[in-house]
Amino acid sequence: MMRGWLVVVVFAGLVVMLAIGLTRDPSRVSSPLVGLPVPAFQAERLSSAEENFDSAALRGEWSLLNIWASWCTTCLEEHDLLMRLSQQLALYGINHRDTRDEAQNWLQVYGNPYRSSAFDEHGEVGIELGVYKVPETFLLDPDGVIRYKHIGALDEKAYREEILARIRGERS
Amino acid sequence: MKRITTWGFCLLFMGGACLAADEAGDERYQALLYELRCLVCQNQSLADSDAELAGDLRKRVRDLIDQDMSDKQIIEHLQARYGDFILYRPPFAWRTVALWTGPFVLLALTAWLLLRRIRRRHARASGGLSDVERERLAKVLKRGDD
């Protein structure tokens, strides 16, 4: 009798574990960088090759660091939201694997929500940040520590529950 | 003429040495690529994947080999940025205990249940009596005495 129950319990445990596994989205891989200071990097600015974009500038206030590209269609989904957020939050961009002309043209056509963008032509900054799917958005606290990473287009819900809640100190 | 030949030989040998060093690097490079997973097309290694990210990461691996980093250092370099997911062989840690030991626990449990069942059936087949049967037998034998 005991033995029968043991088999049932083990089987049920296995089913529960696999069921939880099925609800997870395997294309969203959690980043080991969350909780750590943003990696140090330097790049040219998108606006001018003579100017420098330094990750050391990403502190002093809460900020969003958004990875985008002119070839990225999903980036258009979040673009309206980013335009609105740019009025309340420090928003910086990393232009990922793009050409200067096309990227600057894209900003002219759709609007530029960024205080400034780094020009990451060959995706090297992207590797430092563990970027694998554009767009991605990092939330940085005033100490320059990465507090959250969003993969894919940012939406209102994710902004409220993941980003705003952290800025307000409602969650860690 | 003689001088040219000497130089020629030197170059030839030096070239050979460079090639040999390159081959060792190439072997490490290939072996490493098969250990690392592409995060875009998740069931392909960096060696197999055509994704742009895989190309960028291959270049990074090549650069790190050229910087004389060991295999361990290179893997840690990428793991620090992309997490355990980039490894085809997940590390053994508390989070992964079920993953690594689960199949063996299930195998042991099944083997144990199977063995018990076989033994029981064997005992029955070879004339062994259960407690209930023994009691019934004793009763029958007793009746025979009357």
Do B83 and B132 fall within a single domain? no
Q: Quote the pLDDT of residue B144.
A: 67
Q: Quote the pLDDT of residue B21.
A: 53
> From the candidates A120, A132, A138, A146, which should be mutated to test the interface with B, based on the most B CB atoms within 10 A?
A132
Beta bridge partners of A102: none
| Residue A11 counted as domain residue | no
DSSP string, A32-72: TTTTSBPPP-EEEESS-TTSEEEGGGS-SS-EEEEEE-TT-
| Residue A26 counted as domain residue | no
Overall number of domains in chain B: 2
pLDDT > 70: what percent of chain B?
Answer: 79
Do B31 and B60 fall within a single domain? yes
Q: Which residue of B has its CA nearest to A96?
A: B53
pLDDT of B145 strictly over 70 = no
Sort out which chain A residues have CB atoms less than 8 A from B52's CB and list them.
97, 123
The mean pLDDT of B19-31, rounded to a whole number, is: 74
pLDDT of B16 strictly over 90 = no
pLDDT in tens, B125-141: 776 677 888 888 888 88
CATH code of residue A95: 3.40.30.10
| Residue A120 counted as domain residue | yes
Q: What does the block give as tokens for A67?
A: 């990875």
Structural domain for B126, as ranges: 94-146
Number of cross-chain residue pairs from A and B with Cβ atoms under 8 Å apart: 47
Check A32 against B81: CB less than 8 A apart.
yes
Q: Quote the pLDDT of residue A83.
A: 97
Q: Quote the pLDDT of residue A137.
A: 97
Sheet-wide strand order for A90-96: A52-54, A42-45, A117-120, A90-96, A63-68, A136-140, A146-151
How far is the C-alpha of B103 from the C-alpha of A34, rounded, in Å? Answer: 32
Instruction: Tell me the residues of chain B between 14 and 73 that have a Cβ less than 8 Å away from chain A.
Output: 39-40, 42, 52-53, 56-57, 60
Average pLDDT in chain B: 82
| Residue A57 counted as domain residue | yes
What residue type is B51 in one-letter code? A
Q: Quote the pLDDT of residue A52.
A: 95
Q: Which residue of A has its CA nearest to B54?
A: A132
Q: A10: distance to nearest CA of chain B, Å?
A: 9
Work out the burial of residue B137: count CB atoms within 10 Å of its CB; fewer than 13 is exposed, 13-18 middle, 19 or more buried: exposed
Do B100 and B87 fall within a single domain? no
CATH code of residue B19: 1.10.8.640
pLDDT of B18 strictly over 80 = no
**Residue ranges of chain A with pLDDT lower than 50?**
none
| Residue A155 counted as domain residue | yes
pLDDT of B8 strictly over 60 = no
Structural domain for A172, as ranges: 53-172
Check B83 against A133: CB less than 8 A apart.
no
How far is the C-alpha of A34 from the C-alpha of A75, rounded, in Å? Answer: 22
Q: Which residue of A has its CA nearest to B99?
A: A17
Check B53 against A29: CB less than 8 A apart.
no
Which of the four pLDDT bands, split at 50, 70 and 90, describes residue B55? very high
| Residue A48 counted as domain residue | no
